[in-house]
Amino acid sequence: MGNISKIEKWRYHMKEQKKGMSVVKKMMIALIAGLIVGIACLFLRENLIASGNENIWNWINKLLFQDITVEEGVSAVGIFYIVGQVFMRGLQLAIVPLVLVSLSLAMCSISNSTKLGRIAVKTLLGFFGFYVCGAFLACAVAYGVKSLGAFDVALPSEAVAEASTIEAFNPLATIVNAVPSNITEACSSNNSILAVVVVAIIIGLSLNHLGEKGDALKKVLESGNEVIQLYLTFLINKVGPVAIFCLISRTFAIYGIEYLAPVASYVVAAMLTLFVLVVTIYPIGIYFTTGLNPAKFLKKIAKVGIFGFSTNSSAACLPLNKKTCVEELGCSEEISSFVLPTGMTINMNGTTVMHMFAVTFIATAAGIEVTPANMVVMAFLSICAAAGTPAIPIAGTTMIFTVLSGMGWTTDACMIGYALIVAVNRPVEMALLPLNVIGDAATNVIVNAKEKELNKEVYNG
């Protein structure tokens, strides 16, 4: 009977493993197919326009890719746009309730205040350590590329009013904005996730202190958490692969190449650095801090990176990241519910790496000499700005202006360079997301291991 039980368990394990692998394979196929179709459409568009057949491309664009919410899309169908947007909005629908509920429950379950303090300190140290490593390596590569003259480009002569009218922002304002003056206002927007985190921590700690008196609200939160998890599991597993294909295809199909040549050095250098960092600093960090096999981590977390690359949103990756950490990496539900929402909010390591390249490129192209000392200040400003960046697409690109403003580099030439980066930064934004979300998971694994709550059998399974 004992052998039969073991065989059944093994069969169940293999069945679950195949089921998990099928989702990963679907995402990989969707990503590769999306890249192929998107790039093919990009070249098709250029050839049709060059041969005077622009009307054919306009018809294809209206049918598949056109944004139907703008004036130009009144008569369009935009199939790929609709599928991608419905999926992204479906994910964003769950972001605020997911953070609010999961973080509140995490605070409830950690009854030992000393343990909570330890987890918080280790989490922040992990994020900060990876921030510093990423910023340092990005500074070194960006400075090397600049020194080779790859960033000495001729900027387009057109002045872009939109870029120069962006308001300046003091990164320290993040501290003030973290405490909301209105709880309903904080929970009404995905741009105020840091405020939602603060509200969730307050609710969780208060329920923890109340004990049995808070059981009624705690049960409501637990039921809400189950509903959210069921909804997100269906959305990611069933709709995710199709949506990823549509999102990737559309991104490259409508991506303009008119400015790609002048900034190819920036795009290529930044993307290569981001991909190299994601497979080096996190595995190395896990190995030296925990002694665990980093290859196991990379293999299991790869799908989260793919999902991040496709959706271009840390917030959208939170459900899949948590599921992977708990079910495949052996992290505890309790610690993961604290570390991952916190990381989604403040751990934007990839954004800082991108800022180092973007600001160095803009300043150099505008005729400003960038020194190593300048880059240290840039890194500090970027970390402050990135920690307050909303976990939504294109937010990191917008925050480039914060770093430029902090450095005092806001000349007309800098603004033209900034507008150029905004125009071509989509691929880089996509490449930085895996660094962000995998960094959250790496820190989660390290904190769990240090707290001796990591299930090593599951991790190594």
Q: What is the pLDDT of residues 248-270, one digit of tens each?
A: 888 778 765 555 556 778 888 88
Under a CB-based contact definition with an 8 Å cutoff, are residues 412 and 258 in contact?
A: no
Average pLDDT of the residues of the chain: 80
Model pLDDT for residues 276-288, shown as the tens digit of each residue: 998 899 999 999 9
What percent of the chain has pLDDT above 90?
17
Angle among Cα 265, 268, 269 to the nearest 5 degrees reads 75
DSSP-derived letter for residue 370 is P
3: confidence class by pLDDT, cuts 50, 70, 90: very low
Instruction: Check pLDDT > 70 for residue 171.
Output: no
Element (H, E) at 102: helix 79-109
Least confident piece of the model among 9-18, 104-113, 177-186, 396-405:
9-18
Question: Which residue has better confidence, 21 or 343?
Answer: 343
* pLDDT, position 459: 92
Question: What are the structure tokens assigned to 280, written together?
Answer: 């080096």
User: In residues, how long is the chain?
Assistant: 461
* pLDDT, position 395: 62
Instruction: Check pLDDT > 60 for residue 168.
Output: no
Question: Which residue has better confidence, 42 or 305?
Answer: 305
Those residues whose C-beta lies under 8 Å from the C-beta of residue 324, and which sit 6 or more positions away, are 300, 301, 303, 304, 441
CA distance linking residue 283 with residue 302, whole number of Å: 12
One-letter identity of residue 197 = V
Question: What are the structure tokens assigned to 230, written together?
Answer: 């069921």
Q: Where are the domains of the chain?
A: 2-460
Under a CB-based contact definition with an 8 Å cutoff, are residues 275 and 285 in contact?
A: no
Name the phi and psi angles at 179, rounded to 5. -105, 105
* pLDDT, position 290: 92
Mean pLDDT confidence for 83-95: 81
CA distance linking residue 98 with residue 105, whole number of Å: 11
Question: What are the structure tokens assigned to 140, written together?
Answer: 């070194």
CA proximity to 97, closest of 314, 341, 305, 323: 341
Under a CB-based contact definition with an 8 Å cutoff, are residues 412 and 251 in contact?
A: no
- pTM beyond 0.85: no
Least confident piece of the model among 183-197, 243-257, 350-364, 379-393:
379-393
Mean pLDDT confidence for 356-366: 89
Least confident piece of the model among 108-112, 193-197, 374-378:
108-112
CA proximity to 368, closest of 308, 307, 418: 418
Mean pLDDT confidence for 26-48: 84
Question: Which residue has better confidence, 102 or 216?
Answer: 216
Mean pLDDT confidence for 191-218: 81
CA proximity to 85, closest of 247, 296, 254, 326: 247
* pLDDT, position 30: 84
Mean pLDDT confidence for 336-352: 85
Under a CB-based contact definition with an 8 Å cutoff, are residues 365 and 401 in contact?
A: no
* pLDDT, position 157: 54
Mean pLDDT confidence for 401-416: 78
Write the DSSP string, 314-344. Answer: HHHHHHHHHHHHHHTS---HHHHHHHHHHHH
Those residues whose C-beta lies under 8 Å from the C-beta of residue 191, and which sit 6 or more positions away, are 390, 392
Instruction: Check pLDDT > 90 for residue 443.
Output: yes
> Residue 73, class by beta-carbon neighbours within 10 Å (0-12 exposed, 13-18 middle, 19+ buried)?
middle
Mean pLDDT confidence for 397-418: 78
Instruction: Check pLDDT > 80 for residue 22.
Output: no
Question: What are the structure tokens assigned to 290, written together?
Answer: 């925990």
| Per-residue CA distances from 47 to 40, 53, 256 (Å) | 11, 8, 13
2: confidence class by pLDDT, cuts 50, 70, 90: very low
Architecture of domain 2-460: Orthogonal Bundle (1.10)
Model pLDDT for residues 138-160, shown as the tens digit of each residue: 999 999 988 888 887 766 554 44
